[in-house]
Chain A
Amino acid sequence: DIQMTQSPSSLAASVGDRITITCRPSQAIGTYLNWYQLIPGKAPKLLIFAASNLHTGVPSRFSGSGSGTDFTLTISSLQPEDFATYSCQQSYNYPWTFGPGTKVAIK
């Protein structure tokens, strides 16, 4: 199975900050990488698919990049509704695997 690691595991930031989250799979996966936003009690939300494609309706402050074994999710200007946990996921092969998550908290 492909192991997914994320860094940092958590971070504290302020509204308006630019933040970057890194995801590294244990083997190269091309651009078969997706990003999700998780908020307790709510349905998870797709943000980015195929490494850099913004899902319909997702604000343009979210962006994704990378390929192979190094991926990033960037939020250019944090908004109050962005304080959540972010998880990457590979769809290169089965079983699909997810990163452990990065919790973004209010500073």
Chain B
Amino acid sequence: QVHLEQSGAEVKKPGASVKVSCQASGYNFVSYGITWVRQAPGHGLEWLGWISPYNGNTNYAQKVLGRVTMTTEKSTNTAYMDLGSLTSDDTAVYYCARGNSMIRGGDSYYYIDVWGKGTTVTVSS
């Protein structure tokens, strides 16, 4: 079945970078976008960006623009999210997720249909 396996928890110091991986299985990796979302303690979900494994196109949230890089490796069906210049505000559970869409009446309705279990990133001195 469709599954997204994420890398393990990370503890980083302020100013450092973190790279979270997300290995997909059970579907054609290049046919669906990968979205990254995080949830900080006591907060709601926050969209960080999206990457197309097919052509590498990306779309990043303004809040992390310049600090985030999303990449994919087709040979291993793996997506990566690299976030730099970490601060305590980046402490959160980071999720990778598969984007899907429904076409109706000529419009495309996008949604996230499969999520990884999340990677906890703690930023602390």
Residues of A within 8 A of B (CB): 30-32, 34, 36, 38, 41-46, 49-50, 53, 55, 87, 89, 91, 94-101
Contact = CB atoms under 8 A, between A and B. Distances in A.
Contacts of B107: 30
B111 interface: yes
A50 B45 contact: no
Given A32-B109, A34-B112, A43-B116, A49 B102 contact: yes
Contacts of A36: 45, 112
A97 B118 CA distance: 18
Given A94-B59, A98-B47, 11 more contacts: A36-B112, A42-B117, A43-B114, A44-B112, A44-B115, A46-B111, A46-B112, A46-B113, A55-B113, A87-B44, A89-B45
Which range holds the interface residue count of chain B? Answer: 20 to 34
Interface of B: 4, 35, 37, 43-47, 50, 59, 61-62, 95, 97, 102, 104, 107, 109-118
A9 to B, nearest CB: 11
A50 B102 contact: yes
Contacts of A45: 115
A49 B109 contact: yes
Contact of A43 (B59, B61, B115): B115
A50 B109 contact: yes
Closest 6 pairs between A and B when the two form their complex, measured CB to CB: A49-B111, A50-B109, A98-B45, A96-B47, A43-B115, A91-B110
B95 A98 contact: no
Contacts of A99: 44
Given A96-B47, A98-B47, A43 B117 contact: yes
A89 B44 CA distance: 11
